[in-house]
Amino acid sequence: MKRKIAAVAAIAATLLGAAACGSNSDDDAPTTSASGKVDGAGKTLKVWLMVDAQSAWKPVVDDASKRFTDATGAQVNVEYQQWANHLTKLDATLAGSDVPDVVELGNTEFPKYVFSGAFGAVNPGDYENSSSWLQGLKGACDFEGKTYCVPYYAGARVLIYRTDLFKAAGIAEAPKTYDEFLSDADKLQAASKSNAKFGAVYMPGQYWYAAMSWVKSTGGDIAKQEGDKWVGQLSQPSSIEGLQRWVDMAKKYSKADPTKNENDQANTFAQGTAAMFYGNAWEQGAAEEVKKDPNNPDSPMVPTKVKGKLAAAPMPEVPSFLGGSNLGITEKSQQKELAAQWIKAFTDSKSMAGLVKANALPNATSLLDQAATDNKTIAPAALAAKNSWFPPNAEKWADVEKSAVLQTMLTDILTGKKSVADGAKWADDQINSTLNES
């Protein structure tokens, strides 16, 4: 008897397993449509957004969800994630069956998940402005002729500077050329000579988005695809030139910790020990005002030492890294059509206008000019976004980021532990072995 039950159970398990495999096969994965009407009465959509949406543009999320609920009858449950651990959490969640339907990931994080079959294909034509989606965002969604995510918002990095210190040093306006940027830095440094903690530029050593922007400024590159292999390009002469340019600048003008990254730069800059930094447009606001209680999203804002003394301009002659996020529908989601409807509402022109108000860049080039006129704060960033770059669209690029290859190399060449050429060579070797790993 017992044996019989066991046999039945085994057969049932096999069948269930086979069924599960069948539904997971990605050979003929259907594309989820966002057109037409979906009845979602009694259902709840689970959405994972990053914490920025909660702190900077929660009204946009609420408005899109409300319009979605009105149209479909389904409820939305938005959970906000932290950048520090969201991928580990996502991995663990995707391994189970109770998965979020919509997930936001950074654009450089997407390819790894798309290649691994975590997201379902979408039909770009269903979404507003999809014909002019920013290439830096959309590139991460493309795989074998299909699109696996929807661009959400972008951020381009700009030069943020202290107007009061510029004035005191006799500088009338933001630098227009890289040489001007350097001579301004000299003047600022001379004007604040008495302060031993002062550096004209705040440039943390492991800020690889900045360093790679400098690499791009001299025509260099991180890696490029040759056939079906990726080849690191950092030890090419044009890349070396850019790295050297960055190292010279950071060594001379920056007092920042060579082992820190850019995560805290706005807060550090707010202490008033630097005159310029290279950051996202919204970091200007983050430097001028902070939440009284950082753990409470509703706490009042308090001004910092640099409140009202900051302005932004495009970083002269340095192409901007185009960061940003995309939204994907998980492959395991049981309500893909509903998920597509929500993304559609959250990325339409109305939502994008809301994001622009909150100092984020919209997801399409067609919206950039309008954004620049609507919101003066992000005008420099909108300009910078037109001359932008993004990391190699390789399946394993996220692993390069995670293994801190570029960060380690930058600390090494900045502190003189390795020469620029040796550091670049080492980084190339690491990049080659990571990107081409089978």
Cβ distance to other proteins smaller for residue 250 or 364: 250
Residues 152-171 that bind other proteins (CB under 8 A): none
Cβ distance to other proteins smaller for residue 260 or 357: 260
Minimum CB–partner distance for residue 411 and other proteins (Å): 7
Cα end-to-end span (Å), the chain? 48
Minimum CB–partner distance for residue 24 and other proteins (Å): 5
Pick from 49, 62, 139: nearest CA to 100: 49
Paired tokens of 54: 């909660």
Q: Which H, E and C letters describe 369-422, residue by residue?
A: HHHHHHCHHHHHHHHHHHCEECCCCCCCHHHHHHCCHHHHHHHHHHCCCCCHHH
Who contacts 371 (Cβ-Cβ below 8 Å, separation ≥6)? 356, 361, 362, 378, 382
Piece of 19-27, 182-190, 309-317, 333-341 that binds other proteins (CB under 8 A): 19-27
Query: Counting contacts by CB under 8 A, is residue 436 touching other proteins?
Result: no
The residue within the footprint of other proteins, chosen from 106, 213, 411, 423 (CB under 8 A), is 411
Minimum CB–partner distance for residue 269 and other proteins (Å): 10
Minimum CB–partner distance for residue 358 and other proteins (Å): 27
The residue within the footprint of other proteins, chosen from 66, 176, 224, 402 (CB under 8 A), is 402
Piece of 310-318, 319-327, 354-362, 406-414 that binds other proteins (CB under 8 A): 406-414
Cβ distance to other proteins smaller for residue 393 or 408: 408
Cβ distance to other proteins smaller for residue 17 or 303: 17
The residue within the footprint of other proteins, chosen from 252, 255, 291, 386 (CB under 8 A), is 255
Query: Counting contacts by CB under 8 A, is residue 273 touching other proteins?
Result: yes
Q: How far is CA 284 from the centre of its chain?
A: 17
- 171 half-sphere exposure, CB direction, 13 A CA radius: 25
CB atoms near residue 170 (< 10 Å): 10
Paired tokens of 82: 């932290």
Query: Counting contacts by CB under 8 A, is residue 1 touching other proteins?
Result: no
Can you name the residues that pair with 437 across neighbouring β-strands? none
Contact 281, 359 (CB under 8 A): yes
The residue within the footprint of other proteins, chosen from 313, 391, 407, 435 (CB under 8 A), is 407
- 319: which DSSP letter? P
Query: Counting contacts by CB under 8 A, is residue 108 touching other proteins?
Result: no
Cβ distance to other proteins smaller for residue 29 or 71: 29
Minimum CB–partner distance for residue 414 and other proteins (Å): 9
Query: Counting contacts by CB under 8 A, is residue 419 touching other proteins?
Result: no
Paired tokens of 8: 């039945």
Piece of 163-171, 221-229, 268-276, 349-357 that binds other proteins (CB under 8 A): 268-276
Can you name the residues that pair with 279 across neighbouring β-strands? 158
Query: Counting contacts by CB under 8 A, is residue 332 touching other proteins?
Result: yes
Q: Per-residue x/- marks for other proteins, 62-101, CB under 8 A?
A: ----------------------x---x--x--xx------
Dump strand ranges (E) for 82-226.
102-106, 142-143, 146-147, 150-162, 199-202, 223-226
Phi, psi of 79 (to 5 degrees): -115, 130
The residue within the footprint of other proteins, chosen from 58, 260, 307, 350 (CB under 8 A), is 260
Cβ distance to other proteins smaller for residue 184 or 262: 262
Cβ distance to other proteins smaller for residue 123 or 261: 261
Residues 195-254 that bind other proteins (CB under 8 A): 196-197, 206
Pick from 361, 332, 358: nearest CA to 152: 361
Cβ distance to other proteins smaller for residue 82 or 376: 82
What is d(CA 253, CA 183) in angstroms, rounded to the nearest whole number? 11
Angle between helices 237-253 and 405-414 (to 10 degrees): 60
Query: Counting contacts by CB under 8 A, is residue 19 touching other proteins?
Result: no
What is d(CA 413, CA 234) in angstroms, rounded to the nearest whole number? 13
Query: Counting contacts by CB under 8 A, is residue 20 touching other proteins?
Result: yes
Minimum CB–partner distance for residue 109 and other proteins (Å): 12
User: How far apart, in Å, are the Cα atoms of 113 and each of 76, 149, 335, 415?
Assistant: 24, 11, 19, 35
- 292: which DSSP letter? S
Binding interface with other proteins (CB under 8 A): 20-21, 24, 84, 88, 91, 94-95, 112-113, 115-118, 196-197, 206, 255-261, 263, 268, 271, 273, 331-332, 399, 402-404, 407-408, 411, 415, 417
